[in-house]
């Protein structure tokens, strides 16, 4: 849905098929993983560690998914079709691929809404010692994975350092690590990342862009507003969706549109009218 704002004619089917194919191949690697390994960390469940290692080897070594540190601000890093085509992305989109492939391979993986750097976790089996607070790393507990850096397993101190770097010295460790990301939260975070990218692009380039070329950057703002409006609609934030889509229409009136964009604008206008009626009925 997010990618279709930038690529209106995008067919999702082939990319879902590719995720299914990756999942089938990953399932074979996971099933063949040895249950014991000499390099299993002391605080990791051997079976979970072997499954995660097999999954990460397949995605990051065989399939060559990698974090895009060179062009981190490239909007394509936020579009799942581009991430699958180019085998590169940012922490949250690579984590999304990891989670979807893992789910198809029978490995339970959860997103962690970590500040500044999205992570994933493979829950460990319950411990006999239940006195330790939930969300803390410990014997036979969660494996914390950084999909942006080749599926690196993060020990507790590395997570703490990452938290200090992005949230400051006063950040509460347990709250952040225990916070599993819901699907709406993941979508909202992807949208916010993309919106920040577009805003930074506009600010950095508008000064150097001739007036005759400004419509190109206005289109980026329109794209961001359309994405926000669509996601807010699906999250039942109808007032917010109306604000975003009205901004989309206002920006469209300032630039020259091709036939496809005019058709898209007409569809958005119909959606805006529907949202106005819905918002009015709620007041």
DSSP codes joined into one string, 123-142: PPPPPS---SPTT---TT-P
Q: What is the pLDDT of residue 202?
A: 65
Q: What is the pLDDT of residue 133?
A: 44
Q: What is the pLDDT of residue 255?
A: 59
The torsion region of residue 168 among left (phi > 0), alpha (psi -120 to 50) and beta comes to left
The values of phi and psi at residue 67, to 5°, are -70, 135
For the chain, 283 residues long, give each residue's pLDDT as a single digit of tens: 888 878 888 999 999 999 999 999 999 999 999 876 667 777 778 888 999 999 999 999 999 999 999 999 899 999 999 999 999 999 999 999 999 999 999 999 999 988 889 999 998 765 444 444 444 444 457 899 999 999 999 988 888 888 888 777 776 666 556 568 999 899 988 988 888 887 777 666 555 545 545 555 566 667 767 777 777 776 677 888 888 888 888 876 655 677 777 777 788 888 888 888 887 777 5
Longest distance between any two alpha carbons in the chain, whole Å: 68
Separation of alpha carbons 63 and 142, rounded Å: 25
Q: Are 275 and 246 in contact (CB under 8 A)?
A: no
Q: What is the pLDDT of residue 89?
A: 97
The values of phi and psi at residue 180, to 5°, are -80, 140
Q: Do β-strands 66-67 and 152-153 pair in parallel, antiparallel, or remain unpaired?
A: unpaired
Q: Which contacts of 34-40 are long-range, i.e. CB under 8 A and separated by 24 or more positions?
A: none
Q: What is the pLDDT of residue 226?
A: 76
Any idea what the Cα angle at residue 158 is, between residues 155 and 161, rounded to 5°?
Answer: 150
Q: What is the pLDDT of residue 239?
A: 84
Separation of alpha carbons 200 and 224, rounded Å: 12
């Amino acid at each position: 849905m997010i990618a279709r704002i930038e690529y209106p004619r995008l067919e999702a089917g082939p990319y879902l098929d590719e995720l299914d194919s990756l999942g089938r191949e990953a399932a074979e690697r996971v099933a063949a993983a040895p249950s014991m390994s000499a390099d299993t960390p002391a605080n990791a469940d051997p079976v979970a560690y072997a499954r995660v290692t097999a999954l990460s080897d397949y995605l990051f070594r065989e399939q060559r998914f990698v974090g895009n540190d060179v062009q981190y601000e490239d909007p394509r890093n936020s579009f799942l079709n581009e991430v699958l085509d180019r085998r590169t992305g940012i922490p949250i989109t690579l984590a999304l691929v990891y989670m979807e492939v893992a789910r198809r391979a029978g490995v339970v993986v959860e997103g962690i809404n970590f500040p500044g750097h999205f992570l994933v976790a493979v829950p460990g089996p319950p411990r006999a010692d239940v006195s330790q607070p939930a969300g803390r790393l410990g014997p036979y507990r969660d494996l914390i994975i950084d999909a942006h850096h080749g599926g690196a397993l993060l020990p507790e101190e590395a997570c703490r350092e990452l938290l200090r770097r992005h949230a400051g010295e006063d950040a509460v460790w347990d709250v952040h690590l225990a916070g599993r990301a819901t699907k709406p939260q993941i979508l909202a975070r992807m949208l916010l990342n993309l919106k920040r990218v577009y805003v930074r692009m506009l600010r950095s380039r508008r000064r150097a862009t001739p007036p005759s070329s400004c419509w190109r950057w206005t289109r980026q703002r329109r794209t961001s507003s359309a994405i926000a409006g669509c996601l807010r609609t699906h999250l039942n934030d109808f007032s917010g969706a109306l604000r975003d889509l009205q901004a989309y229409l206002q920006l469209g009136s300032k630039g020259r549109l091709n036939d496809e964009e005019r058709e898209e604008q007409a569809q958005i206008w119909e959606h805006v009218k529907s949202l106005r009626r819905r918002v009015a009925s709620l007041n």
